[in-house]
Amino acid sequence: MAVDLRHELTRPLALILAAFAVLGWVLFGLSSWSASSVQKAQRLQLVEMRTKADTLSADLAKQTALIAEAGGLEKKMLATREELSRMTQAKADVQSELATAQRRLSTVRRDVSEADRSLAAQAQKLSDLQSSAAEANNAAPDQTTQPTPRVGRGARRGTWTRRGRAYRSYSIMSRPR
């Protein structure tokens, strides 16, 4: 039995079935093509999302490191502020001590200048007394001359006890009478 293909294709049922078969294959081809393109698009989206996730995790790690560094910098800043306040206080203390030392220095200089003036006046008195003594010795050569008092440390020395009190002392201007 030979099948006549021409005759079979003219029947409506066969034509409808053939059309459905072709339509099925076309839909299958389109759906597989569409599915593969959707899968490809989903894979691309998945790769992009993984890349974004990696980027975001790297950014998060950087942010965490920056936050930790900022905390360390804040501690350093507080320590530096404390050190600055200590240094400022030390500077104020040193300036106060310097002002006190300068006042003491000016007082000592004033005392030294007064002592110099007093010493000059005492030296002048001594030279006046020595010249008057020399004139008295020249005027009365027959009288026994007495030694002039010593000026300096030796003239002021006396005999001292262990307790530091003098029981006999000499003065610069004292003369035996």
Instruction: Show the tokens assigned to 137.
Output: 């010795």
* Residues shown for the chain: 177
Write the pLDDT tens digit of every residue in 148-160. 655 555 555 555 5
Residue 74 has pLDDT above 90, yes or no: yes
* Mean pLDDT of all residues belonging to the chain: 83
Instruction: Show the tokens assigned to 17.
Output: 């079935």
Whether the CB-CB separation of 175 and 146 falls below 8 Å is answered with yes
The answer to whether the pTM exceeds 0.85 is no
Write the pLDDT tens digit of every residue in 37-58. 888 999 999 999 999 999 999 9
Binned at pLDDT 50, 70 and 90, residue 173 comes out as: low
Average pLDDT on 122-149 reads 79
Whether the CB-CB separation of 58 and 66 falls below 8 Å is answered with no
